[in-house]
Amino acid sequence: MTAVEGCRQLPTWFFKDPELLDACRARDFGRIFELARRAGIYPSRVARQCDLTPSRVSDVIAGRRTLTQMSVVERIADGLGIPGAMLGLAPRRWESSDAEVAPHRVELPVPVPSAAEGEEAVALRRELQAATSADATVAELFAVQVDSMRRMDRQLGAGTLLPPLGEQINQMGNLLHRSTSPNARTALAAVLTEASTLAGWQALDLGLYRRSWELHETAKAAARESGSAALVAHTMGQQAYVLLELGESAKAVEQVRFARESAGRSLPPLMESWLFAAEAEAHAVAGHETQCRNGMDRAEAVRPNDPADPSLPFLFLAGAHLSRWRGNVLATLGADEALTDLTASLASLDLNGFTRAEAGVRCDLAVVLARRGEREEARRQALRAQDLASMTSSVRQRRRITDVLAATAA
């Protein structure tokens, strides 16, 4: 089926959207399909109009697959009525100077519902019924899976875990979008938030900044539906790390502060401590020493005596972990006293199962030691950190370690 053979067209304004123009130039079909959804053309219809399977469209939107075959690109242009020039193609056969044929110039009327659309309504009703049967116990099963992923992530890193976690996020998202049970929606939204923030952190660790940002946006929407101020604040605070990686430290500081202040007094002490420490780290990157030190002091002051909160299984702020964090921000500031915190945390921290954390401590140690002129020990720590980072496929850590090794080279 082509764009002028009865398919519903995208609206005229859609083809003037700068975001669409950029996506077309890059042939970023995941973004194109997502923008089409905003315009009322949902993935099931995209699949039908472009002669693709629904699962393939979902995979493209989720970033798990790309579309490069010319025949597929042409089917998408024809199916959605995208002028050939926008996708680097020759003008399509249906393009014409005749205003009644050019879909990018004229809105075509929405056709009368067909028998096929009646079947779609039946299918949607079945999906709603199936989602409704997925009560809060289903969310508990997803929560167990996400916790398992979290534990593996600490040791194995993101490389092998992000794809299956992305599939879980899609499944939970589909259930959430179709569930009509308030209790089930709240529970699913909370687990979807945790899964999406974990995946967002993994994407960031792999250097996939756009993917990380979008996953955090998914998490924020789910967190708001869950009604948890702590989840909303954590998602916003963690998303600020994408800004730090992009060199936007002032915006990162602003976002973490807003996440903390907008939650008011409703935050658990453990979450408040985490947010103060995250804000301090953003200040460190921005070179704000006084604010950084004050932030870490406040994080220590509000941290509860028992740093384990069953409602916040993704936060680890036992004394040694917070010392490690303090050492990291002090190393970023260039303070030699970071050596004390880092050495102590490495000696006392139970790093079994925290491969990424140990790599971070050793890399920070190498930075401080190199600055002090202790090049041999700095290189030893950096090489050990490199071995650990290779186990977790951390692009962020390997980039830092490469810089340290270069600085300590004879």
The alpha carbon dihedral of 121, 30, 200, 171 has a sign of positive
The residue whose two tokens read 């500031």 is: 333
N-terminal to C-terminal alpha carbon distance within the chain: 65
Contact 284, 292 (CB under 8 A): yes
Residue 26 to residue 20: CA distance in whole angstroms? 10
Return d(Cα 159, Cα 189) in angstroms, integer. 25
User: What is the model's pLDDT at position 398?
Assistant: 78
- The confidence score (pLDDT) of residue 261 equals 93
- pLDDT for position 286: 95
Q: What is the CATH number of domain 12-111?
A: 1.10.260
pLDDT at 15 (0 to 100) = 80
Q: Please give the pLDDT value at position 98.
A: 41
**What residue has token string 């006084």?**
290
Q: Which residues of the chain have pLDDT under 50?
A: 1-8, 97-111
* Selection from 108, 156, 137, 44 nearest residue 390 by Cα: 156
Q: Indicate the pTM of the whole model.
A: 0.64
The token duo for 313 is 């299984």
